[in-house]
Chains A and B, each alone.
Chain A
């Protein structure tokens, strides 16, 4: 039951991340080259999100990443505990092929 819930949580968390990563990557790949019509060249171009929509999207994306990282770390810690326990009790025979 607990395992199933964990898996569900993992799916729920990874879906938005995959959405952001895949769609932004596709968008990046499909964008046609845009003609530049600036007259005076700026001295130094620094990029930060242009508007509130874009900056919100980026920060929400970052938030999801960290949330997913924490959940995955929690799951991996459980996995480590379990695999260490199996090693301790010598669950797997030594010369298993």
Chain B
């Protein structure tokens, strides 16, 4: 019976073809294999985000009159509502951290080189989408801090000449952050971004399957044969261990450190002191702060935003800039990447102090 049922599904869905493909798929084993696990960790956290996000959607009401109350209700009255919200928040943090680690590992191992340029670019798009997820989600509880941080965040594009004001208006749904911004952010957070992320994720995964896993530069250089193991079942069991440990850490942190909810946002009230964005935006926030108000009669904010955009573009187009063969070491890129990481860490810590 079991066999017949399996065959029935196999005839219609072609499961054996997928199973055979997974068995044939090989994963290289070398000293950098550990970085391969970061990709699937992102997928796990994204899955948790979708699940907990749907749970939160059951109670969340995206209007300025009800948003804060609905989050408060979840945290205080709904059974385990606080835990679902806490897992959603912490899983977002873990996901963003995993995306950062994943991209940095690719940058340092030069895995973006030919033929994986588009894989890198789709990955950078995924990073931007993930950060935008965090940015839009931060406003949804509609508390004092989230309102002020969103005001600051949506004001940044205003520094850009010509298009700045339009971008700010588009983000806010008007001149200021109001109920329209909340509705807009909710729509973007709960429908537009998941669809975009899914689309880019499919492209990204397809490209990874097409080009296979990259090898370390040392192996490429010596043209040596690297030991490989099948994806199914040898590698997937190893991945499962990583997922389990990450899930355990996520649950533990979510239980012991649930996020707080500030008092309800008041559009008329002055911004509270010490407004800061989420940790993953702190280095950008601090960069804006360290720039003087005017540099040669040009606004310091404008120069800072331009510089950030420039670095972002260089980051995006790095496979085209460093288009040397895979076996070349690329020491300059390594040094620049290390400096960028150091800069981000130092400025984040500085902002926290």
Interface residues, chain A, with chain B CB atoms under 8 Å away: 24-25, 27-29, 31, 33-34, 36, 41-48, 58-59, 62, 65-66, 69, 72-73, 76-77, 79-80, 83-84, 87, 92, 96-97
Name the contact of B76 in the complex, choosing from A45, A62, A65, A77 (C-beta under 8 A): A45
Q: Which of B55, B244, B264 is within 8 Å of A73, CB to CB?
A: B244
What's the least CB distance linking A61 to chain B, in Å?
Answer: 8
> How far apart are the CA atoms of A30 and B80 in the complex, in Å?
12
Determine whether the beta carbon of A41 is less than 8 Å from that of B55.
Answer: no
Asked if B128 lies at the interface with its beta carbon under 8 angstroms from chain A, I say no
- A47 near B234 with CB under 8 A, answer no
> Is B245 an interface residue, CB under 8 A from the partner?
yes
Chain B residue contacts of A97, Cβ below 8 A: 16, 20
Size class of the B contact interface (CB-based, 8 Å): 35 or more
When chains A and B are docked, how far (Å) is the Cα of A43 from the Cα of B69? 13
Q: Which residue of A lies closest to B56 (CB)?
A: A28
Q: Please, which residues of chain B bring their CB within 8 A of the CB of A87?
A: 229-230, 234
Whether B73 lies near A33 (C-beta < 8 A) is yes
A47 touches B82 (CB 8 A): yes
Are B258 and A47 neighbours in the complex by a CB distance under 8 Å? Answer: yes
User: B residues within 8 A CB of A80?
Assistant: 234, 237-238
B215 interfacial by beta-carbon distance below 8 Å? no
CA distance A84 to B228 in the complex (A): 11
Q: Are B240 and A46 in contact (CB under 8 A)?
A: no
A59–B289 Cα distance when bound, in Å, is: 42
Give the complex CA separation of A33 and B247 in angstroms: 30
B17 closest partner in A (C-beta): A97
Whether A77 and B263, one on each chain, are in contact in the complex, defined by CB atoms closer than 8 angstroms, is no
A24 to B87, CA, bound (A): 14
Separation of A67 and B82 alpha carbons in the complex (Å):
23
Please report the C-alpha to C-alpha distance between residue A36 and residue B70 in the assembled complex, in whole angstroms.
10
CB distance from A66 to the nearest CB of B (A): 6
- A28: B residues at CB distance < 8 A: 55, 58, 78-81, 84
Of B75, B240, B252, the residue contacting A62 (CB under 8 A) is B252
CA distance A24 to B69 in the complex (A): 22
Within 8 Å CB of A47, what residues of B? 75-76, 82, 258, 260
